[in-house]
Amino acid sequence: MKTNLIGLPIPTRDGEFTAHYSETGLPGLDFPKPGRNSRPKAGVIPIPKIVREWHRTTTQALKAVLAGGLPKGLPPLDWTEGTAFQQKVWKVMGKIAPGKTLSYGEIASAIGKPKASRAVGGACGANPIPVLVPCHRVLAANKKIGGFSGGMDWKYRLLEREGVRVGAV
């Protein structure tokens, strides 16, 4: 666990996301939570300059993705807490262009384990940085929506915004 974990809000037209920053980058991003969330940390801990910079980048990137586009840049993603397998999966997912989708099986093949599609699904669900790591662009083999940890409606909304038509569940 990181010591100086800082949570900063990112207001968007879709609600207020929360970005978490460690000393080395961005380890997590939260979807807007229902109700109001308290986040006193920002006022207590002095925010390092580098974090403010990351936050600006993150905000831009997030909004770009929410608009169905490609972020100009990303902050350093700190997913060192994930297992080696998960990191491979996330890295592959990060290369999916807006408007494109891959199946769990294709991801599995991409990391050299064509039969690990189900495990890939698990890694997607464990993705701590949704949206920026486009886990929503991963569909089941027959283009079914599958599932989404942040809520199915998000997955639908994000994909539709990118012009992707998904099959019914």
Question: Which lies closer to DNA via its Cβ, residue 33 or residue 56?
Answer: 33
We find the least distance from the C-beta atom of residue 76 to DNA, in angstroms, to be: 22
Catalytic (active site) residue 124:
no
We find the least distance from the C-beta atom of residue 156 to DNA, in angstroms, to be: 12
User: Which of 86, 101, 92, 90 has its CA nearest to residue 140?
Assistant: 101
Alpha helices in 67-112 (DSSP H): 84-93, 104-110
Find the catalytic residue in 29, 108, 135, 159: 135
39 secondary structure, DSSP code = -
Question: Which lies closer to DNA via its Cβ, residue 45 or residue 141?
Answer: 141
User: Which of 168, 30, 164, 29 has its CA nearest to residue 102?
Assistant: 164
Task: Please tell me the distance from the alpha carbon of residue 76 to that of residue 51, in angstroms, as a whole number.
Answer: 10
User: Which of 169, 105, 106, 92 has its CA nearest to residue 134?
Assistant: 92
We find the least distance from the C-beta atom of residue 115 to DNA, in angstroms, to be: 3
Question: Which lies closer to DNA via its Cβ, residue 70 or residue 141?
Answer: 141
Residues lying near DNA in the complex (CB under 7 A): 83-86, 103-105, 113, 115-127, 130, 135-136, 138, 140-142, 146-150
Question: Which lies closer to DNA via its Cβ, residue 51 or residue 123?
Answer: 123
CA angle, 8 then 13 then 14, to 5°: 80
Task: Please tell me the distance from the alpha carbon of residue 10 to that of residue 60, in angstroms, as a whole number.
Answer: 10
We find the least distance from the C-beta atom of residue 142 to DNA, in angstroms, to be: 7
Which residues carry out catalysis?
135
